[in-house]
Structure 1
Amino acid sequence: MEKGDSKNLVKEPDLSYGNYTYADYLTWEMEEMVELIKGKVFKKAAAAPRRIHQWLTGNLYTEMNLFLKGKQCQAYIAPFDVRLPINSKKDDKISTVVQPDICVVCDMDKLDDRGCIGAPDLVVEVLSPGNKQVELQHKYQVYEESGVKEYWLVDPEGQTLLIYTLIHGRYQASRLMTTGDIVKSSVILGFELDLEVFFAEIK
């Protein structure tokens, strides 16, 4: 994330305060990654994500990135700021800034040096014990409201994948897919993920 003048950095925001903006976010100097959802601060776990979380995230990003080479869309992996404005794109008016594990952006006008401003076309979150509530509740709401067309939830422990597809402004869930299924995206046309191969190396 791009930060401001070091003289103005804040070591620790008040987590009970619920009216922060992206302008505030830029002044925070914190060791762990944080997200801002509707003005409220959510800390990522202090410890690094579990090995398998990083393994699966990296593998899926690599597959998407290779598939998209030479195409219109681009894939990004966290840390990568995604700002989700409502009525204004000004820093002091944006109250949601998230760090999806992976996101795919097809509108290049949404990309700048600080990340993405506006809804990515596809977002992937890989669940871990410390982040399930944020992913399942808070992020689901902001992704739906902001217009993320496709939202993937990957569960390494259960070896499952669920896709929420935006239809007429509301998410509709796929069936729960697992080993033996071939996952197809309605956003990245032609991209397929063989879950038997994808989950095979979990140990």
Structure 2
Amino acid sequence: METIEPRLTLAEFDALPDNGEWRELLDGRVLVNPSPLTDHQIAAGNLYTLLRAAREPDLPVFFAPFDYRPDDRTSLQPDVLVCRREDLGHRGLQRPPALAVEILSPSTRAQDLLRKRRVYEATGVDAYWIFEPEDAVLTVLELEDGRYVERTFKSDEVFLAQRPFSVRIVPEELLEL
């Protein structure tokens, strides 16, 4: 017999007791994420630092946990995000960030590559970057006519980002201590 997983609204999700777990809500389903691995944290910190140094004043940079809530059954926490200052709300963002970044981990790989990608594309997140620490590969997805166009940068290849602002990213440098 198959069990039906209950689907929550944001209000029900917000009412859950705070037990210290890192939780997200995707299509009404609660996702509990384990603590990130060392390479994940190094890459997220380095990427945050690069983006923060290059940012424009009206485009603040945040790191997880910081909620993007595109509908009443979804609350995602990209590892790093850039948004428009005027879009900030009390509980994070309801409007799409200019950039969402996910650092892949074995436990979240499928949801980052598939489920979150679909949500980000469908809700109009202009740029979505996915970093694979194991192979130092950065996948860059940018909206063109409502669909993501994908480019990949490996190891020492240089990505000169223009969205959401100009910044130089070299995948292998994201793993430097």
Q: Structure 1 length normalisation: TM-score? A: 0.80
Query: Which amino acid in structure 1 is aligned with residue 29 of structure 2?
Result: K
Partner of 1:40: 29
Q: Distance in 1 between matches of 2:173 and 2:11?
A: 43
1:127 correspondence with 2:91 = no
Partner of 2:37: 50
- CA change 1:148–1:24 in 2 (3 A) is same
Question: Considering only CA atoms, is the larger Rg found in Structure 1 or Structure 2?
Answer: 1
Partner of 1:191: 167
Give 5+ residue unaligned stretches, structure 2.
Answer: none
2:134 aligned counterpart, secondary structure? coil
Counterpart of 1:113 (choices 75, 90, 108) is 90
Give 5+ residue unaligned stretches, structure 1.
Answer: 1-13, 86-93
Partner of 1:24: 12
Contact 1:184/1:190 (8 A) holds in 2 = yes
Percentage of pairs with the same residue: 30
Counterpart of 1:74 (choices 44, 60, 66) is 60
Q: Distance in 2 between matches of 1:181 and 1:56?
A: 16
Contact 1:77/1:100 (8 A) holds in 2 = yes
1:104-141 alpha-carbon deviations (Å, 9 max, x no partner): 002x2210222111110100000011100110111011
Q: Distance in 2 between matches of 1:197 and 1:155?
A: 13
- CA change 1:27–1:198 in 2 (3 A) is same
Shift of 1:60: 0.7
Partner of 1:64: 51
- CA change 1:190–1:133 in 2 (3 A) is same
Q: Distance in 2 between matches of 1:84 and 1:64?
A: 23
Per chain length, whose mean CA-contact separation is higher, i.e. which structure has more relative contact order (CA < 8 Å, sep 6+)? 2
1:148-191 alpha-carbon deviations (Å, 9 max, x no partner): 000000000011000111111111111x2112211122313321
